[in-house]
Amino acid sequence: MATLPTLAVVGATGAVGTVMCDLLSSRKNVWGEIRLIASPRSAGQTRMCRGEELTVQALRAEAFDGVDVAMFDVPDEVSAQWAPIAVSRGAVAVDNSAAFRTDRDVPLVVPEINPEQVRNRPKGIIANANCTTLTMIIAVAPLHREYGLRELVLASYQAVSGAGQVGVDTLHDQLSKIAGDRVLGSRPGNVRQAVGDDLGPFPAPMALNVVPWAGSLRDGGWSSEELKLRNESRKILGLPDLKVSATCVRVSVVTGHSVAVHAVFGTEVDAEGAREALRNAPGVILVDDPAAGEFPMPIDAVGTDPSWVGRIRRSIDDPRALDLFVTGDNLRKGAALNTAQIAELLAAEFIAAR
Amino acid sequence: MATLPTLAVVGATGAVGTVMCDLLSSRKNVWGEIRLIASPRSAGQTRMCRGEELTVQALRAEAFDGVDVAMFDVPDEVSAQWAPIAVSRGAVAVDNSAAFRTDRDVPLVVPEINPEQVRNRPKGIIANANCTTLTMIIAVAPLHREYGLRELVLASYQAVSGAGQVGVDTLHDQLSKIAGDRVLGSRPGNVRQAVGDDLGPFPAPMALNVVPWAGSLRDGGWSSEELKLRNESRKILGLPDLKVSATCVRVSVVTGHSVAVHAVFGTEVDAEGAREALRNAPGVILVDDPAAGEFPMPIDAVGTDPSWVGRIRRSIDDPRALDLFVTGDNLRKGAALNTAQIAELLAAEFIAAR
């Protein structure tokens, strides 16, 4: 019997890395050794993975020796530096940062949509899409196959864990400060006063607020998160001319990104046909019965694998347009799960080749 | 000197009625007598208005005798019954419910946009628009005048006070229950469990959640709130063929409705031209400097009169489209303020006629 491939998890102690260890413990095991890697600050800590207690190693070139697949859940600049080093040591890198997503020589893979692209990796690097894009595209791709997508207008409702564990801690701290004061949110300025100066990674208080900003400022007043939705949707679907307008908004939710989607197609659509396409689509759960209180919501989607899709309506004024609402766990399908799925495609390739 | 007209406030003890008393106390006084009216249950209570303590009267036909303008901030069915009675007793009714908004013989007036329509009232009734429509339309109308509006794609972020004081109490109760438990929102089902069965007027927990539903179910899976945005935008702007698709979502905010707007026009647009049009528009405040952390947010807009507009971008793939974000106080411009402004137009008419 062939040896199972060796996996490295870089960024193993972060918010996504923690979910990754949970996933690796619960999914079908295709790995031999699993090596946890993090910054020197976290080295020496232990984490449970597949029922074994593993010691976290410091990030250095030698840590990749003998590794077949190296997953990166680290900031862009760390991936930009270290993914090529992992490749030079013989690994294939699966990167969850934005460092390589728009690189023409790096495929952007969603296993339910374009799994064949994993083999197209001249740099030895495969990119994982942004969490908001992943949540949305899983629901949009089956509709594209049915009707031919032309345009997306998107508005997001993004959870604080998209900004990492510090985002979660910040929201919980703020909620503790405001609890019990029943006039907060009803008078100007009083939420800012109650929350104080500690905004964590956000530009404004998250408690009792919505913040129409995520990422960094780009040309034309767009945020980097909004441009990611456009660029990554085009690349994943192979539609370089797809029209995309997105507004990204952070909301008071711990985990679970939601997106209101207005999708315009090349042919006429119907809501029941769209539901049928989504019922049969991989990675999707259809929850679309408003009369019964069934629609996609973060408190239900958190901790689950699929994108929850509902509120499917044909636009009244455009027979080629659908409106829908999608929610998914931004730490799972939006990050760790999709990375794990890509790595599993690679594991199958290695096992078949040995 | 002419006598000042008499005003009745019907629904004086509700969430909007309370804001109305504050507004009447702070705006230029154009009223003689002010009469507070509510359900028999609330009759006999007292409220401060213009520095006077007023006793709330029970709703009955005789309460409208001698009234020139009667404002209604009550449920649809109460308005449907009582606004015509107020008219039969000689008053002009300004109604904030949905009962008359789509009636061809009832104008839907936003004083900054179509003030001339107050005179076109064959039934003696003038309707006030829905709170989400008002917040958004104040920002969209000046852009329509500049570029000629063709289509709106809208996603809302609606505050709980849109469901009345019971909505606010429900959110505060839920926030008290979840405060201090730092894993809530990170695991499936635990928010539902912590919040318990008391969902107030909402179909799901509001704390740490977004709920893609507001209003009642209509044909094609649309909610009544989504159809209001379409029907009322068309009527206020006088554009019977305007294409509108809206998704209405309730968020964990006390007061302040927000809307992500994708607006398509008949001519090419530019973001700086749009900003200039909005800078000079009545009822609008432009907050559009993301680098300085300036964008419209409910915690800043609450308690203020204007619609806060920002995040103005020209769509990358359509030179005729703008994306923007709007926030406004749903109890003020979204309800009481617009009603008060309509009533003041009527007061000026009565004073001029006497």
Q: Would you call B83 helix, strand, or coil by DSSP?
A: helix
Question: Which among B248, B65, B215, B182 is positioned nearest to A175, based on CA atoms?
Answer: B182
Measured between CA atoms, the residue of chain A closest to residue B271 is A220
Check residue A130 and give its pLDDT: 95
DSSP output for A21-56: HHHHHHSPP--S-EEEEE-TTTTT-EEEETTEEEEP
Distance CA A257, CA B350 (A): 53
Check residue B284 and give its pLDDT: 98
pLDDT (tens digit, 9 = 90+) per residue, A137-169? 999 999 999 999 999 999 999 999 999 889 999
Place of tokens 């929102």: B185
* Phi-psi category of residue B93: left, alpha or beta, with phi > 0 → left and psi -120 to 50 → alpha: beta
- Judged by CB atoms closer than 8 Å, whether chains meet at A303 and B187 is answered as yes
Check residue B250 and give its pLDDT: 98
- Judged by CB atoms closer than 8 Å, whether chains meet at B316 and A176 is answered as no
Contacts of A220 in chain B (CB under 8 A): 271, 313-314, 316
- Judged by CB atoms closer than 8 Å, whether chains meet at A209 and B298 is answered as yes
Rg (CA), chain B: 21
Nearest beta carbon to residue A153 from set B192, B213, B262: B262
Contacts of A173 in chain B (CB under 8 A): none
Contacts by A105-108 with C-beta closer than 8 Å and gap 24+?
Answer: A108/A232, A108/A235, A108/A236
Check residue A2 and give its pLDDT: 59
pLDDT (tens digit, 9 = 90+) per residue, A198-232? 899 999 999 999 999 999 999 999 999 999 999 99
Residue contacts between A and B (CB atoms, under 8 Å)? 240
**What is the average pLDDT score of chain B?**
95
Question: Which among B250, B168, B248 is positioned nearest to B209, based on CA atoms?
Answer: B250
Q: Between the CA of residue B233 and those of B30, B96, B102, B319, what are the distances in Å?
A: 29, 16, 11, 23
A14 is in an annotated binding site: yes
Q: Over 80: is that where the pLDDT of B171 sits?
A: yes
Confidence tier at A354 by pLDDT (50, 70, 90) = confident
Measured between CA atoms, the residue of chain B closest to residue A293 is B203
Catalytic residues of B: 131, 257
- Judged by CB atoms closer than 8 Å, whether chains meet at B208 and A311 is answered as no
Domain ranges of chain B: 7-129+335-353, 133-330
Catalytic residues of A: 131, 257
Check residue B183 and give its pLDDT: 85
pLDDT (tens digit, 9 = 90+) per residue, A62-110? 999 999 999 999 999 999 999 999 999 999 999 999 999 999 999 999 9
**Residue A347 Cα to chain centre, angstroms:** 21
Give the amino acid at B296. P
Q: How far is the alpha carbon of A169 from chain B, nearest alpha carbon, in Å?
A: 8
Q: How far is the alpha carbon of A50 from chain B, nearest alpha carbon, in Å?
A: 20
Q: Over 70: is that where the pLDDT of B2 sits?
A: no
Q: How far is the alpha carbon of A172 from chain B, nearest alpha carbon, in Å?
A: 6
Q: What is the mean pLDDT of residues A129-136?
A: 96
Q: Over 50: is that where the pLDDT of B254 sits?
A: yes
Tokens of A64: 């990749």
Q: Over 70: is that where the pLDDT of A1 sits?
A: no
- Judged by CB atoms closer than 8 Å, whether chains meet at A179 and B176 is answered as yes
Share of chain A above pLDDT 70, in %: 99
A330 is in an annotated binding site: yes
A158 is in an annotated binding site: yes
**What is the average pLDDT score of chain A?**
95
For the domain B7-129+335-353, what is the CATH code? 3.40.50.720
Contacts of A189 in chain B (CB under 8 A): 299-300
User: How many residues does this entry show for chain B?
Assistant: 354
Distance CA B8, CA B202 (A): 31
Question: Which among A315, A262, A325 is positioned nearest to A288, based on CA atoms?
Answer: A325
Domain A133-330 has CATH 3.30.360.10: yes
Distance CA A295, CA A274 (A): 15
Q: Quickly count: other Cβ atoms within 10 Å of residue B348's Cβ.
A: 13
Q: Over 80: is that where the pLDDT of B48 sits?
A: yes
Please tell me which residue, A19 or A317, carries the higher pLDDT value.
A317
Check residue B1 and give its pLDDT: 47
Distance CA B212, CA A295 (A): 7
- Is the CB of residue A125 less than 8 Å from the CB of residue A95? yes
Q: Quickly count: other Cβ atoms within 10 Å of residue B290's Cβ.
A: 20
Backbone angles phi, psi at B261, to 5 degrees: -115, 125
Cα(first)–Cα(last) distance of chain A, in Å? Answer: 9
Q: How far is the alpha carbon of B223 from chain A, nearest alpha carbon, in Å?
A: 9
Quick one: which H or E segment has residue B154?
strand B149-157
Q: Would you call A99 helix, strand, or coil by DSSP?
A: coil
- Which candidate in B19, B22, B150, B153 is best for mutational testing of the A interface (most A CBs within 10 A)? B153
Contacts of B310 in chain A (CB under 8 A): 212
List, in sequence order, the alpha helices (H) in chain B.
Answer: 15-26, 76-88, 131-147, 165-178, 190-195, 224-237, 271-279, 298-301, 337-353
Check residue A301 and give its pLDDT: 97
pLDDT (tens digit, 9 = 90+) per residue, A224-280? 999 999 999 999 999 999 999 999 999 999 999 999 999 999 999 999 999 999 999
Tokens of A11: 């960024």
Q: What is the mean pLDDT of residues B203-211?
A: 97
Q: Over 50: is that where the pLDDT of B325 sits?
A: yes
Q: How far is the alpha carbon of B292 from chain A, nearest alpha carbon, in Å?
A: 9
- Judged by CB atoms closer than 8 Å, whether chains meet at A220 and B187 is answered as no
- Is the CB of residue A71 less than 8 Å from the CB of residue A94? yes
Contacts of A151 in chain B (CB under 8 A): 317
Nearest beta carbon to residue A293 from set B204, B230, B247: B204
pLDDT (tens digit, 9 = 90+) per residue, B107-119? 999 999 999 999 9
Q: Over 50: is that where the pLDDT of A3 sits?
A: yes
